[in-house]
Amino acid sequence: MSYATSLYLTGAEIGLSLAGLVFLLVAAWGGPRSARMLTSLTVTALIVAAIFSAQLFEQATGEVAGRAFGDLYRAGAFGSFAKILIYLAAAAVLVVTPSFFEQRGAYRGEYPVLMLFNAVGMGMMVSATDLMTLYIGLEMSSIASYVLASFLRNDDRSAEAGLKYFVLGALASGIILYGVSLVYGFTGTTNYEGVRAAFAADFATGALFGVVFVLAGLAFKVSAVPFHMWTPDVYEGAPTPVTAFFASAPKVAAMGMLVRMAMDPFAGEVDSWRQIVIFAALASIVVGALGAIGQQNLKRLLAYSSINNVGFILIGLAAATPSGISGVMTYLAIYAAMVVGSFTALLMLRDPEGNNLETFADISGLSTRRPALAWSLLALMFSLAGIPPLFGFWGKFVVFQAAVQADLVALAAIGIAASVIGAFYYIKFIKVMFFDEPVREVEATSPMSHWVVLAICVAIISPLGYLLTIPLGEWTAQAAASFVAAM
């Protein structure tokens, strides 16, 4: 394949990288005054990258779909679909970000640039077909994330969150790198197809340890139990827009990376890793549900909700079938809308002095003061709980259906039963907002940009979202077809 074709296939990453370099110079020269302009330009760049990825998705079955730079990177339906979700989620979070930092006098042009480079790394992660490419993308995304978590330099909580994320993230990266070295040592290659072929010929015990180490490191990135310990602290301490970003785009990227690793290089050893995934799925569902029950901080509660939802997503991966992978991608698409909407609503909760409200006591009686916001939160929480007819129900339905079709009936049954536990703390939102007496004053207005993002997210997760089931099913099925040959 020619370099021209390789450059075209990686056009989204190259375009975002060049834009990031230019924007970095503008931020250095323009200072804080350029932050708003750079945010708008970054949102535009991310939307253009999403459109370009959608074009590649449409051509994924044609001649243009292929392997770039000697099969280090592969353009296909799976990677393109994941990148569309990543870029749109990052753009949505950026739209609601400026007012939060400007209130604190801390918004700088470097923030959208960090988001841009983070998106480049995430795009590489989901399209990588070589362990080295994967690790480069992973580190590019992670380094930008560490800085974002500690972006409020004068806030002790933000600094603590950044430090915790850096230390534990570095540990996870080391675990992945050690696993990669073991896989390379026993296969003699870092290419996904080469690894799969070598494992088919001889799957030694040392190679199994390599697979376990790689999957363990990736489990940290998706915050699956027992590698979830960083999530509540980082979500609570990081600035709320950063938390919204961590819960959406990087979650999609990390899960896409995990799916590609499991269903491409490790596809021939499903029986070796399925039990690990099943344990992580059930443990994440239970720990996420029980851990959230006693939380009073809303961001910390949504962190446990994230762990809980990762468990449901992993059920689709445990099925290890095209319908299971399709279910995973469907759930991720719906979950991204739900979590962006939820954190946008939290950003709109401010007292008259402009301070963000983050506890259950702060939202008591919210329906009497901000009814539109309260009803939006009700829809989002019910959708996260998987209560029909909201679209969040469909995400759970497709992964449970895939598990049943793969003869994992017990796993699906336990997942369904455990989901009832999680409904408790989602319903607590409704009880506090609609039935408790108001305790604190809430700002009466919110920026129009927040309302636009919230309205779009609520529309997607409402019953109107079911209009997307047919096209979404077709897109995710096409994305899952990328792994049919490997399976």
Q: Which two tokens stand for residue 8?
A: 């075209």
Instruction: Give Rg (Cα) of the chain.
Output: 21
Residue 224 has pLDDT above 60, yes or no: yes
Residue with tokens 């954190």: 343
59 contact partners, CB below 8 Å, separation of at least 6:
65
Out of 53-57, 109-113, 138-142, 377-381, least confident range: 53-57
CA distances (Å), 309 to each of 113, 455, 466, in order?
29, 22, 20
Between residues 398 and 294, which one has the greater pLDDT?
Answer: 398
Give the bridge partners for 359, in sequence order: 297
Out of 57-61, 195-199, 443-447, least confident range: 57-61
CA distances (Å), 445 to each of 86, 370, 448, in order?
29, 9, 9
Residue 240 has pLDDT above 50, yes or no: yes
Handedness of CA 134, 139, 140, 141 (dihedral sign): positive
Counting beta carbons within 10 angstroms of the beta carbon of residue 344, is it exposed (0 to 12), middle (13 to 18) or buried (19 or more)? buried
Tens-digit pLDDT profile for residues 12-52: 899 999 999 999 999 888 878 888 899 999 999 999 999 99
Q: What is the distance between the alpha carbons of residues 339 and 245, in angstroms, rounded to a whole number?
A: 9
The mean pLDDT of 291-313, rounded to a whole number, is 88
Q: What is the distance between the alpha carbons of residues 123 and 256, in angstroms, rounded to a whole number?
A: 10
Tens-digit pLDDT profile for residues 161-210: 888 888 888 888 889 999 999 999 988 888 888 888 888 888 788 888 88
Percent of the chain with pLDDT over 70: 97
Asked if 459 and 240 count as a contact pair (C-beta separation under 8 A), the reply is no
Give the bridge partners for 130, in sequence order: 191
Residue 91 has pLDDT above 90, yes or no: yes
Predicted TM-score (pTM) of this structure: 0.92
Phi (first) and psi of residue 299, to 5 degrees: -70, -40
Q: How many residues does the chain have?
A: 487
Q: Which two tokens stand for residue 249?
A: 């785009």
Q: What is the distance between the alpha carbons of residues 475 and 245, in angstroms, rounded to a whole number?
A: 24
Asked if 76 and 60 count as a contact pair (C-beta separation under 8 A), the reply is yes
Q: What is the distance between the alpha carbons of residues 277 and 157, in angstroms, rounded to a whole number?
A: 33
Asked if 351 and 443 count as a contact pair (C-beta separation under 8 A), the reply is yes
Give the bridge partners for 350, in sequence order: 356
Residue 487, pLDDT score? 56
Residue 197, pLDDT score? 87
Phi (first) and psi of residue 67, to 5 degrees: -110, 125
Which of the four pLDDT bands, split at 50, 70 and 90, describes residue 117? very high
DSSP assignments along 53-84, one per residue: HHHHHHTTTSTT--EETTTTEE-SHHHHHHHH
Tens-digit pLDDT profile for residues 68-79: 787 788 888 888
19 contact partners, CB below 8 Å, separation of at least 6:
41, 42, 45, 116
355: DSSP letter? P
Asked if 94 and 239 count as a contact pair (C-beta separation under 8 A), the reply is no
Q: What is the distance between the alpha carbons of residues 435 and 23, in angstroms, rounded to a whole number?
A: 48
Residue 62, pLDDT score? 46
CA distances (Å), 283 to each of 150, 221, 233, in order?
29, 16, 19
Q: What is the distance between the alpha carbons of residues 264 and 184, in angstroms, rounded to a whole number?
A: 15
Residue 232 has pLDDT above 60, yes or no: yes
List, as own/partner pairs, every contact residues 414-420 make where C-beta atoms lie below 8 angstroms and the sequence separation is at least 24, other chains included.
414/282, 414/285, 415/281, 415/282, 415/285, 415/311, 415/312, 415/315, 418/282, 418/285, 418/286, 418/289, 418/311, 419/285, 419/289, 419/312, 419/385, 419/386
Average pLDDT over the chain reads 86
Cis ω before 471 (30° cut-off from 0): no
Asked if 19 and 119 count as a contact pair (C-beta separation under 8 A), the reply is no
Q: Which two tokens stand for residue 200?
A: 């088919």
Q: Which range scores top for mean pLDDT: 152-166, 298-312, 357-371?
A: 298-312
Residue 89, pLDDT score? 94
The one-letter code for the residue type at 459 is A
Asked if 109 and 32 count as a contact pair (C-beta separation under 8 A), the reply is yes
